[in-house]
Structure 1
């Protein structure tokens, strides 16, 4: 993986890594900013909800307001003032105004050289009567000579006589120092938490940017390897064709019979190139997704294929045995299954000697169709077993090229198996050789007796 990262770090694809990171980071930033604003707004609107409701209720209780005013008047003449520790004032305070909006109960009288009620004095200085605020709740912060400022929420109301004539105005105040301190502390906690997670989002953005880029890098590497291998496969036959044609020009008076060897070699390379391009086209189509088109199939379908394999094996002086054990019909894509079997049979033919033995067994277990293709060739090492399904990979390149192999067949076979939701595995075939084990998921619509196909035996019986 480290080699892969280094191999493409300078490619054009990696240039988008910064954009991916920026997109993720901006997305996280917007999310955290929106959450912070929503949480703070909810906290601000909720923290004073009870206090505001109490002010509204108090405004509907004139007897209680009158008692607060009398209490303030008695305290305003006291020869004392709040201690220097900045303690909170009373929970509720009231200011009265006449019908013109002028304060009608002064509270700043001086006794023995000292101010009266310090809280009322500062409220009178800080609050301005405004008729537009009648019926609404406002906030105000007043100066405190002995510590932190006092914070109040207040409601302005009009008072009327029995004829509904306005005879004055009342402002009811509620101290909210503790609530504001609690709100500030909670907001600080929210901001700190969001800032920490915002910093963490930078690391998450980097991880997601690399994580989303990794499949692209892997695909790019596979594409690069595919193009390199395809170019290599095409370069060899093209070089042979060029050399053969140059030899033909060196002897322009020669007949076709004289140059039959060069012509035959050139034709062989052309056929090889045609096979290569056909397989490359098939791979490109398979990469876009296989479409399974199942149809009802019985054992006769496999027996007919085995007859063709038997003739090919006899022509190569090899022995082929095909056995099908199938109860009834199955639904499968005959074209893809035939291609899969042909790839595995052709692979067994190439890697077995002249006295080679090739066996294909087809069975059914539950909803799976099992294919076993074995040979007695040289076998495949454990290291090669991990790579034989890679495109253009060949166990014995020199021998495979000589026999026309391109290293694409098993890759196609695996794609077919994967499209079926099955699996393909490679095992040793003692005493020597290789066995391919394939499981394809199918359906079993009907049931019929099992049939066994043994071509060699049938040929012997006919003789």
Structure 2
């Protein structure tokens, strides 16, 4: 009882550590995904919302005459900005219209503002205005504050210009400002919605990580339990023959002068246990190979394949004082793995021989029904209870341990048979045989 409690405590600690580690991995992955997704969406949104404005700035920057017209509109003393030599040539006419939120600031070659009466260069905002050649030809975002404390946001570009020879002016640089307060407010609202949504999903990922941590550990724990049970059962099965061998060999030493005939019983029993151990280790090796994956090699077989197998079974049945009969209702050929199916049939036949009384009947039938090959093995032996039917294909499980040990079984044959049938894409099930005994039914798609 103490060992069981100690084992459960150890398992609980292992499960907790595994849970915590797996949860942390899932949560970190979700955090990175949502963080990267948020950055990408915000960057795309910011770039997209100013795209039209930046395209407008770029278009107007290529037409300085339009910007000169806009500066003249905002400055009442336009004569101080430029002079046109030929008034009959409408070089400033038919220019694209400009929006009210667009403002132009003109500079001379020294960076001095020429249109001092514009909105941007008024006393209210002039303290925030800075001329810098470092931003030449670049679209940047600037913030200015009014006397009332209101914040105005502009997208702007400073660029160097040259005019037609008919225009006399000392304008060297033009800076275009486009007010984007409305766009900025819309961007802020969108960013808030995106951040709120992402944080909500990030919190949901917390619970998802907990669930996935529990879910992902189940197959690991099941595999661990199967491995532990397998090792315990294998150790238990090997313990008995080893103990018998030890006792028999000790008996040989107690009578060192005895002849082989005198010790024949001890030698015979020792050899019997060695054979049992060889069979057990061979079965264990086969199961280990099957766990690594079965390689199914299909080939065409007909009724002669089963006839040859059943002919050998007839001889074995006669030697075991059993009545054996078979029925093969197979026309044409079917595709199956000859070696694997022969191994399964041998396991079922061997079980039927072991767990039935002398002179009892064993019947094996083969029939093709539709696209399925049905193989049935029936005996009128001891039978299997309903509870045992659910466990009969588990490794080392035996219906009657005392009788099985006496018959030389280890509870591995049916487990191996099921693995083979599963690998072949078929099904195997156990039923009661009427009026007495057991029936194993194999269904293979051929």
Q: Same fold (TM over 0.5)?
A: yes
Gaps of 5+ in 2: 78-98
Match in the other structure for 1:66: 69
- Where 2:296 maps in the other structure, the secondary structure is coil
1:102 is aligned to 2:112:
yes
1:308–1:69: structure 2 CA closer, same or farther, 3 Å change rule?
same
* Structure 2 partner of 1:455: none
Distance change (3 Å), C-alpha of 1:278 and 1:58 = closer
C-alpha distance in 1, partners of 2:317/2:355? 13
Q: How does 1:338-377 map to 2 (within 5 A)?
A: 338-377=342-381
Counterpart of 2:124?
A: 122
Report the TM-score, using the length of structure 1 for normalisation: 0.82
What's the secondary structure of 1:416's corresponding residue?
helix
Which residues in structure 2 correspond to 1:42-441 (within 5 Å)?
42-59=44-61, 60=63, 62=65, 65-66=68-69, 69-71=72-74, 73=76, 91-107=101-117, 120-163=122-165, 167-168=170-171, 169-441=173-445
Closer, same or farther: CA 95–118 of 1 in aligned 2, 3 Å? closer
Does structure 1 residue 31 correspond to structure 2 residue 41?
A: no
| Long gaps (5+) in structure 1 | 75-88, 109-116, 443-463
Asked which structure has the greater RCO (Cα within 8 Å, sep 6+), the reply is 1
Alignment-derived partner of residue 23 in structure 2: 21
Secondary structure in structure 2 of the residue aligned to 1:380: coil
- Cα pair distance change 1:63/1:27, threshold 3 Å: closer
Q: Let me know the Cα RMSD of the aligned residues.
A: 2.8
- Normalising by structure 2, we get a TM-score of 0.85
CA displacement 1:322-349 (0-9 Å, x = unmatched):
1111102333322222211111011111
Inter-CA distance 67–415: structure 2 relative to 1 (3 Å threshold): closer
1:126 Cα shift? 0.7
Q: Taking structure 1 as reference, are residues 255 and 377 closer, same or farther at Cα in structure 2, changes over 3 Å only?
A: same
CA distance in 1, matches of 2:381, 2:121: 104
SS state of the match for residue 296, structure 1? Answer: strand
Separation (CA, whole Å) in 2 of partners of 1:333 and 1:7: 46
Find the aligned partners of 2:300 and 2:156 in 1 and give their Cα distance: 85
Change in Cα spacing, 1:125 to 1:409, as seen in structure 2 (3 Å) is: same
Q: Compared with structure 1, are the counterparts of its residues 90 and 126 closer, same or farther at alpha carbon in structure 2 (3 Å cutoff)?
A: farther
